Amino acid sequence: MSKRVLIIGSGFAGMWSALGAARVLEEQGRATGHGAIDITLISPEPVLHMRPRLHEKTPSAMTTPLLPLLEAAGVRYIRGHVTHINTQGKNVDATDENGMRFNLSYDKMVLTTGSRLFRPPLPGVGEHTFSIDQIDEACELDVHLARLADRPVSTGRNTVVVVGGGFTGIEIACELPQRLRCILGEDADIKVVVVEQASQIGPDLGAGPRPVIIQALTDLGIECRLGSSVVSVDVNGLFTNKGERIESQTVIWTGGMRASSLTEQVSTERDRLGRLHVARDLRVAGVSDVFAAGDVALALVDDQGNHAMMSCQHAMNMGRYAGHNVAADLLGLPTLPYEQPFYVTCLDLGSWGAVYTEGWDREIKLVGEEAKALKHKINSEWIYPPRPSRTDALASADPARKVVA
């Protein structure tokens, strides 16, 4: 019976893991014929959701099909939602699109099920807030925004509140003035407010890009409530801990990510975001047949103690390494230590432009139109899958390949 590498998830880490594993099998002559190894990828849909683009207009267009690519790379695709992982017995339970349950066994596995937005259990937050975390949620917001034009003019209709002034909150806030004017008219008295509990905007982005972010928010007319946290949300607005009432029919929640809950079934060694502790080769600590990559993995990127962020930038590279290592491990070959010392940030600032930084201290390198052009390149080319040609796909899955350097 052929051996199986199972990859769970078809996001950035999952897609690249599949290609990374296929590349090793090809190199070792184990892709077809006697002794061939089966690479199976399971996810609810054979598409890549372009999550970094969900703050843009028309989020429904932000998917890209994966079947031709996986087929070209010799990866078997199974549509399913994994519900349970049994690391002792080396198998998983899943359900198909009709709710039928099935079981899949594996010899080695890569978990790449990503992350989800975490909403705190505050009154009204679950029922009355939108998000741009997953594609269906971004589409729901898009439809809601479009329909605002049918509602009677009021302060609440014209006001959008973004809760969380981190990376995602800043990106969607900066996108909104232009989007709202398209929907409500150039002369509409629109208002975009960012509510951030920290005393500074972009608390995790550091001091480097902050002046640029503040300038962009000011120029775009976006108001900030710093040091304020939301205590309750209702259909017409919210209250903050300072007792302020903000009338708004559109509250977008952005703060707080959590790794996929499947991580709980793999190991108890997880960080506060639920990410699995992994060794340098991305093997889950204490679980020798399971590797983890992307938003589910707490991985060192260098010898200076920096860890991968929940980011596409890290998920793609981790995927290539995890795929390489899971296949190498199955074949008894040495695994590679994951490393990605070069770190960049490119923050979209809507019609104002963007800001691009390099390094963990986020030193500004490009601002405005130049940074925006780079952001466009990243979001329309670099994060997309390779074309469905076996040669190109396997070549681009080489972990040694420098995408940004």
- Report the residue closest to ligand FAD, judged by CB: 11
Strand, helix or coil at 246? Answer: strand
* Closer CB to ligand FAD, 111 or 238, in the complex: 111
* Closer CB to ligand FAD, 156 or 323, in the complex: 323
As a whole number of angstroms, the distance between CA 285 and CA 296 comes to 13
Q: How far is the CB of 364 from ligand FAD (least distance, A)?
A: 16
* Closer CB to ligand FAD, 118 or 239, in the complex: 118
Q: Which residues are within 8 A (CB) of 301 and not within 5 positions of it... i.e. 6 or more apart?
A: 307, 308, 314, 338, 339, 340, 341, 343
Strand partners, 84: 93
As a whole number of angstroms, the distance between CA 92 and CA 83 comes to 8
Q: How far is the CB of 345 from ligand FAD (least distance, A)?
A: 8
Q: Do residues 259 and 270 make contact, with C-beta atoms less than 8 angstroms apart?
A: yes
Radius of gyration of the chain (CA): 22
Q: How far is the CB of 152 from ligand FAD (least distance, A)?
A: 30
Q: How far is the CB of 314 from ligand FAD (least distance, A)?
A: 7
As a whole number of angstroms, the distance between CA 251 and CA 30 comes to 52
The DSSP result for 71-106, as a single string, is: HHHT-EEEE-EEEEEETTTTEEEEE-TTS-EEEEE-
Q: How far is the CB of 405 from ligand FAD (least distance, A)?
A: 16
Q: How far is the CB of 342 from ligand FAD (least distance, A)?
A: 13
Single-letter amino acid, residue 79: R
- DSSP strand pairing (223-226 vs 47-49): unpaired
Q: How far is the CB of 18 from ligand FAD (least distance, A)?
A: 11
Q: Do residues 128 and 122 make contact, with C-beta atoms less than 8 angstroms apart?
A: no
Q: How far is the CB of 62 from ligand FAD (least distance, A)?
A: 10
* Closer CB to ligand FAD, 74 or 294, in the complex: 294
Strand partners, 92: 85, 104
* Closer CB to ligand FAD, 52 or 353, in the complex: 52
* Closer CB to ligand FAD, 96 or 361, in the complex: 96
Q: How far is the CB of 74 from ligand FAD (least distance, A)?
A: 20
* Closer CB to ligand FAD, 234 or 361, in the complex: 361
Residues within the interface to ligand FAD (CB under 6 A): 8-14, 42-44, 51-52, 54-55, 81-82, 112-114, 132-133, 168, 260, 262, 294-295, 310-313, 315
* Closer CB to ligand FAD, 9 or 237, in the complex: 9
Q: Which residues are within 8 A (CB) of 294 and not within 5 positions of it... i.e. 6 or more apart?
A: 9, 11, 12, 13, 14, 112, 114, 314, 315, 318, 319
* Closer CB to ligand FAD, 260 or 357, in the complex: 260
- Residue with token string 């329909």: 147
* Crossing angle of the two packed helices 167-184 and 210-219, in degrees rounded to 10: 10
Q: Which residues are within 8 A (CB) of 92 and not within 5 positions of it... i.e. 6 or more apart?
A: 6, 8, 42, 82, 84, 85, 86, 103, 104, 106, 109
